[in-house]
Each structure stands twice: as C-alpha cells, then as structure tokens.
Structure 1
Amino acid sequence: MTLDDLRTFVAACRHGNLTLVARELGRTQSAVSQHIKRLEHELGLDLLERLPRGVAPTEAGRILFAAASDGLAGLDLALRRLRDLRQGHGGAVRVATGATTVRHFMTAAIVEFRRRHPTTSLEFQTESSSRTCMEAVAAGRADLAWITIGEPVRGIEQRPVAKLRWMLAVRRDDPLAQRDALGPDDLAGIHHIRLPETSTSRLRLDAHLAAHDIHPPATTGVADWDTAMLLAELGLGHAVVPDLPNLSRTPEGPLRLIPIADLPPLTVGWAARQWDALAPAALEFAGFVESSP
C-alpha cells in the first residue's frame, strides 16, 4: 500500500468516476485501476462498486475513505510546509472563497498582510458555494475557506465572524424605494433575482421566506451578489442581499438598499480542518480579516 494508492482511491470516492480521477491526477485510466486493485488485493476486500456510470465505495471503502481522506489532507499540508522550508520560501496561505468575498471582506486584510509578509504567497481559489469551499479544505487544496456558516460538517471546524442583515436592492424609481424599512410581507410581490440552488445563503433566505409563507417569483438567476445588484440596477428585478461590507451607498446612486426586518441575519465566517493546526501565517491572515472594518 502506497500513498499514491491511497490518493487515487480517495479521489475515486470523491469523483465517483475513474476517468475524472485519471484526468485530475494526470494518469491513464488503466494506471488508476491498478492502484485500486492493489489496495483491494492487499486488504482482501472490494473497496469500490463498479456501476454502469462510475464507481461508488463499498462499506469497506467508506471506512477507508473516512480515515484516508483526513490523514492525506494533513500529510499533504505538512509536506507542502516542509517543501517551503527547504526551498527558503515564505510559504503560502490558500483561501477558498465565493466570487465576491475578496472585494467585500478581505481588501484591507490583504494590504496589511502583504505589508507584514512580503514573501508569503496569498492564493485564492473561487468556488461556487460554501459546500465546495469546505470540500476544498477537506481535500487539502485550501487552508481556509470563507463560508456561510451552516450545519456541522464532519472534519471541518466553522468559526462565525459576522452577522449580516438582509437588504432589498431596488431601483430608485421603484415604489418600494420610498420606504425606510420593509417586512417579509413586502417581498411577496417582488421579481426576485436569485442565486443558484447550491448556494447556502440562498437556501437560508428561501427557508426564512417560506417560514412567512412567502414565495416570490424568480425572474432571473445569477452567480453572486454583485451581479444580482447590477441586474437590479438595470431594472431586471429586485435583489435580496446581505448587508455586505464595502457596498456602494452614494445618495445619488441608482439603487437603494432598504433593511428587511424580521429575517434572521446571515452568518458568515471561516472554515478549516483544525483551527489550532493552521500555520501561523494563515491564522494571522484570518485575524486581519476578522478585525477589518
């Protein structure tokens, strides 16, 4: 049993498709199959069930996957840090984020971190949802993830940082723009610009509105909050958005942002495999973000 065998097996469980594994690891599908077969031969158990379209872990495979995925992620992180030390580099902090996170939450932290650590690399990878951000952390591809805080996830520590109230972004010529505050009932007739169904923040918002028996029609779909506000500005609908830092609020601007009462705030923050095991640079960057205005 080798580390390559285990890495290949973990990737197969994660993707459920040996062709995708071969593409990710830069190997032939035959080589991927050989890694799996070697593990199965050594353990004397079938680890993957061959399906018409892909593979799935057996009961034995699920046991090995749970242990190997955690162990490999920690080992890969340690090897990367040792490599940085050997090569005399300043190391790297890898952050998985949504599309608009850096702009709204991290600009001041990035400037301060670069000033103090000019040789340490900051690497940002954009993910489509909090779930995929946490998957990047769990797989060892990121040290930290900025997420919408949700239900507990095995092997991931979530650290709340901020609570954001909900706002309605509406054009100044819309009748709702004359209001200083809104309630959930006022949203029943809006033309909602919505995030994808995989978005944790959208799921939170939909659940809050459903609790008030409000189901506004969705006329437009977008990938991030900034695009939602742009489309609201262009008159394509109304955007219900969290009160993000660094939102433009110029009195003469085309949009008004109106607070919505009686909706629980959206909680955002960090995710990591083990907070206490993070490198000092990652902890320091996280602290800068938390203390940013």
Structure 2
Amino acid sequence: MKFNAIAVSLISSIALLGGVVSAQVSEPHVKVQAATSVATKYAGQRSVPIYSTPNGTKTGKTLSYGSSWKVFATQGSWIEVGTNQWVNASAMVNTKPANTYYIDYKAGYGIATYSTPNGKSTGKSLKHGTAWKAVAVQNAGGKTWIELGKGSWINAAYTSTSAPKTKYIKYKSGYSIAVRSTPNGSLTGGKVKDSSAVTAFQTSGNWTNIGYNQWVESRYLSSTKPNTIMGYETTGVAYRMNATAYDPRVLGNTTFGYDTVAANLSRFPRYTKLAIKFGNGKTKIYIVRDTGGFAYSNPNQLDIAMPNSQALQFGRQNITVWVLK
C-alpha cells in the first residue's frame, strides 16, 4: 500500500471579470506514498478525478488545484500518483500554479481574455496590475493558460505571481531612464520620465519588472510619491510672491530669453529653475538669470521677462512659485 504525506483539500474559486467569488469544500483525502521518483506534477484543475486504472473507473476521489504529486508511472496520456490511482496527464502541469495572478503587461493597457485555451477572444480585457483568482491552469498551443472562470482564459505570459506595488521614478528632474527587455538586457527604446508612477512586480538582482518585457534599474525607484509640477519634481514648498514684468531687450540685454526671471539671488541663486503659477491658473517654467534693483531689494519679489507689450499689461500680480529639483 502506498501512502502520501500530502493531504488533499479542494479549493474551488470562481473568478468573474470584475469580481471574485470563492468557496472552500472538503473532499476525501488521497493517500499516496512519497516515492523516490524525481518527477513531480501539480494538479492544474479545480478537481482532478482519480481513476482506478488508465481510462478506467472513477474512484470518487479528486486532486485539489495546485496540490503536488509524485509520478510513479505513466501510460499513454495517464499518470499514476498512487496504487490504483491514475489521473489524466492533461489535468496536470509541471509548475506549481498560484491561487492569484496579477496582470503584468503595460501600463494603461489590458490583456485579452479567451473563451477556451488558445481559442477565440471574448472581447473583454483585464487591466494591467489587477489581481485575479485562478481556478485552473492548462498547457495548449505551446502556451500556458490560466482559467479565471468559466469561459475566461488568459495567457500566463502576461501575468506575475508577485503582488505589484506602486513605485516612482527617482532620477533627475526633467530626464528619463531607459527600459530594457530583460534584466540588464537590450534596450527596448522605451523610457520612463522622472517622477512617473510605475507598477513594480518582481525583482531580479538590481532590476525590477514594471511590465511585460520591461525592466528598469531598481536604484531609480522610490516608494515615496514626489511633489511634481508639469512633470518636474519640486522641493515640495510653495511660495506666495509678488511679480512684475519687464522686457530685457528694452534694457539692451539680448542674451536673456523670455524664460528668464530676475530674483533676489540670496533666496533663489542664479540658474534656479522655478515653476510659476499665475492668477489665470496657467503655469510656466522659468530660470533665474537676472537680478535688478526691484527684485534685489525685495526677497518676495520676482520680475518676469516677457515681450514689452505683455509686460505693460501684466502690472503687478500675486503668483505661486515652486523650486524645481
């Protein structure tokens, strides 16, 4: 008589698009001896029926989804997992299936669902980063397929068993980091801008997966959400200031462009990059390149460069200012 230390329980989970319903049911335990065979298979269905002989009579017992079993013998498309206990090989898989899978594709996109493994599309899709309960795993057409519910199958290549976390690119304000197809592999041509939010899955060495065939260096990821304005990271401090306008060209300066501000240099050193929000709600990026008597004597004052016709209409306004990193 063969005995197995693995207790079998049936966990039946039905995952519907948009929700999950689960129930747990106890089923008869199957005793199987721990053999010396190196081959191990895993039940890839909710309830794999056991037969007394290959293609013979059902014993009334089943293997639960995800449970592991030693292979004592094979006969055609049948596997022996214990004395007088045979299961169809199509119901078994080589890798232990997970109970929950996460869609690991591309931010902003979803993956298709299919009515059968390698079958027709249902016309519905699952969003990147979402979690789904699995009830079966099956190999078909050279691919591994995951069943989330009756008539809802997905390609396992676009999933991860690691729960995703939201991370933020921490690199250099206004710049981007490169994306690679594998850890330290070839460049995909894609880039992710500093301060962008990404969905981070598993890590491999110094690399983190942020989507299907998309890897970035882990050192450029942070769990802290940055303060950003127009895609640029700020110091997080907002200044309420007064502003006037001037045209450097009227003063004979053709070096400074109209992205220039004159400021008190003890407060905002030269070449400091500022985001300025005006009373009309518009925000623009400026660089401190100048100082004048008005701004120099008043740390709470900025003089903003613009064409003379606009400067005359600008007058004096209250503005909000952020220092960009």
Same structural fold, with TM-score higher than 0.5 when normalized by the shorter chain: no
Give TM-score, length-normalised by structure 1.
Answer: 0.27
More helix by share: 1
* Greater RCO, 1 or 2 (C-alpha within 8 Å, sep 6+): 1
More strand by share: 2
Q: State which structure, 1 or 2, has the greater radius of gyration over its C-alpha atoms.
A: 2
